[in-house]
Amino acid sequence: MVAPVRLPTEEAIAEAARILRAGGLVVFPTETVYGLGAHALDARAVARIFEAKDRPRFDPLIVHVADEAMVADLCEAVPDRARRLIERFWPGPLTLVLPKRPVVPDIVTAGLPTVAVRCPSHPVAQALIRAAGIPVAAPSANPFGYLSPTRVEHIAPVLRERVDLILDGGPCEYGVESTIVYVAEDGVTVLRLGAVPVEALEAIVGPVAVRTDASDRPMSPGQLPRHYAPRTPIRILSSGETPPVSGLRVGYLAFRQAPTDRAFSAVEVLSPTGDLREAAARLFDCLHRLDGAGVDVIYAEPVPEVGLGRAIMDRLRRAAALME
Ligand code: TXA
Ligand code: MG
């Protein structure tokens, strides 16, 4: 079914807010581009974003807030430089990457220890986040590999079938995405050039570093000041394969069912019903738990490479490749 497109009346915004709180997807306007929003603290809702976008991998998402107060719930610390940037540029097209609190699901941050937060100035985005009363995770509302939509007419037909409601706020003011900065205690690094110019940042915090080659692949080793990778080696099994018998302590990541013929030191099951959305929502949690279980090696069952299964396998392969 194709999602209804509604003008952003008070009633439509209230309806959109209800959908978000209940785990649905809403396309909404921001001052930069249209966003594809979901409840940021609901891992299953966030999994639907990746499904809707057909993303072959999990990229970390920006979490949208209505004001600075909401940041305290999401981030461990807000360094002084970040506060000054927030004071100057919020609400507006500046995204800050800050250390995350555990409440932010790993699927939002692709397992990174940081979360990107942004407070949009668009009145419809503002009203929606306030009405929902929750932080909203939202990438640009385009299928993977397409241009970001800056008006409702740009929103791809396939995406319209996968969301619950579209709020039409007319054309976006900037039409380019927000500028993304990583803010550490000792300095500011631009990860994506965007609607706030570098010069404007430097007027507030002095010289900044620009490392935009990393913006598309923030999970690549070494490209971010801190990045997450499981410490335990991971091997991906082929279909039907069982881990070799060895003296090692083995962790096992099952897709649907824990193995019954062998005991492992730790076992996690992604989705007993074989639901790829649930599997995606649980992937990073399961990896974290296996990683913390004191095993020597983790064996992961493959999942079907359809829909979100592609992103799950991509993430597993990256985790496995980091060990090579
Ligand atoms: O203007 C915008 O920022 C729009 C509107 C909808 O707010 N959103 C947007 O989201 O452009 P998206 O998903 O298309 O781009 C988000 C970028 C990605 O390049 C991602 O890698 C980066 O933000 N990002 C998110 N969290 C990050 C983190 N913890 N560390 C580094 N980069 C991060
Ligand atoms: Mg995008």
Domain ranges in the chain?
Answer: 5-210, 234-319
What are φ and ψ of residue 145, in 5° steps?
85, -5
Separation of 227 CA from ligand 1 center, angstroms? Answer: 16
- The tens digit of pLDDT for each residue in 113-141 reads 999 999 999 999 999 999 999 999 999 99
- pLDDT tier, 206 (very low <50, low <70, confident <90, very high otherwise): very high
Q: What distance in Å separates the CA atoms of residue 314 and residue 256, rounded to the nearest whole number?
A: 18
Cross-strand partners of 96: 117, 181
Structure tokens at 107: 């699927």
What are φ and ψ of residue 199, in 5° steps?
-60, -35
C-alpha separations of 206 from 72, 196, 211, 212 in Å: 25, 15, 16, 18
Token pair 């037909």 is found at 157
- Quick check: CB of 318 below 6 Å from ligand 1? no
- pLDDT tier, 213 (very low <50, low <70, confident <90, very high otherwise): low
Q: Within a 10 A sphere around the Cβ of 1, how many other Cβ atoms? A: 7
Q: Which residue has the higher pLDDT, 130 or 316?
A: 130
| The model's pTM | 0.84
Q: Within a 10 A sphere around the Cβ of 238, how many other Cβ atoms? A: 7
- Quick check: CB of 177 below 6 Å from ligand 1? yes
- Position 41 pLDDT exceeds 80: yes
Q: Alpha helices, DSSP H only, in 25-149?
A: 43-53, 71-74, 80-89, 106-109, 123-132
Task: Determine the residue of 107, 180, 226 to mutate for testing ligand 1's pocket, defined as the one with the most ligand atoms within 8 A of the Cβ atom.
Answer: 180
Strand spans (E) along 2-101: 5-6, 26-28, 35-39, 62-64, 94-99
Task: Determine the residue of 28, 54, 61 to mutate for testing ligand 1's pocket, defined as the one with the most ligand atoms within 8 A of the Cβ atom.
Answer: 61
Q: Which helix (H) or strand (E) holds 253?
A: strand 250-254
Ligand 1 atom with least separation from CA of 35: 6
Ligand 1 atom with least separation from CA of 95: 3
Structure tokens at 187: 């300095």
Separation of 178 CA from ligand 1 center, angstroms? Answer: 8
Task: Determine the residue of 177, 196, 220, 224 to mutate for testing ligand 1's pocket, defined as the one with the most ligand atoms within 8 A of the Cβ atom.
Answer: 177
Q: What distance in Å separates the CA atoms of residue 126 and residue 147, rounded to the nearest whole number?
A: 24
Q: Which residue has the higher pLDDT, 63 or 218?
A: 63
Taking alpha carbons only, the member of 322, 242, 247, 230 closest to residue 284 is: 230
Ligand 1 atom with least separation from CA of 194: 1
C-alpha separations of 300 from 110, 232, 274, 290 in Å: 18, 12, 15, 11
- Quick check: CB of 62 below 6 Å from ligand 1? yes
Per the prediction, the chain carries an average pLDDT of 90
Separation of 60 CA from ligand 1 center, angstroms? Answer: 7
The CATH code for residues 5-210 is 3.90.870.10
Structure tokens at 313: 């396998």
- The tens digit of pLDDT for each residue in 269-314 reads 999 999 998 998 888 779 878 988 999 999 999 999 987 888 788 8
What's the CATH fold of domain 234-319? Rossmann fold (3.40.50)
Q: Within a 10 A sphere around the Cβ of 209, how many other Cβ atoms? A: 11
Q: What distance in Å separates the CA atoms of residue 292 and residue 249, rounded to the nearest whole number?
A: 13
Taking alpha carbons only, the member of 276, 275, 251, 273 closest to residue 262 is: 251
Ligand 1 atom with least separation from CA of 93: 1
Residue 302, preceding peptide bond in cis (omega within 30° of 0): no
Q: Which pLDDT does position 229 carry in this prediction?
A: 56
Token pair 């609901």 is found at 42
The amino acid that residue 120 corresponds to is: P
Cross-strand partners of 268: 253
Structure tokens at 142: 């385009």
- pLDDT tier, 64 (very low <50, low <70, confident <90, very high otherwise): very high
Which numbered ligand comes closest to the C-alpha of 146?
A: 2
Structure tokens at 261: 């013929």
Rg of the chain (C-alpha set): 20
Ligand 1 atom with least separation from CA of 217: 21
The amino acid that residue 88 corresponds to is: R
Task: Determine the residue of 34, 57, 62, 212 to mutate for testing ligand 1's pocket, defined as the one with the most ligand atoms within 8 A of the Cβ atom.
Answer: 62
- pLDDT tier, 145 (very low <50, low <70, confident <90, very high otherwise): confident
Which numbered ligand comes closest to the C-alpha of 138?
A: 1
- pLDDT tier, 322 (very low <50, low <70, confident <90, very high otherwise): low
Separation of 166 CA from ligand 2 center, angstroms? Answer: 17
- Quick check: CB of 108 below 6 Å from ligand 1? no
Which numbered ligand comes closest to the C-alpha of 116?
A: 1
Q: Which pLDDT does position 132 carry in this prediction?
A: 98
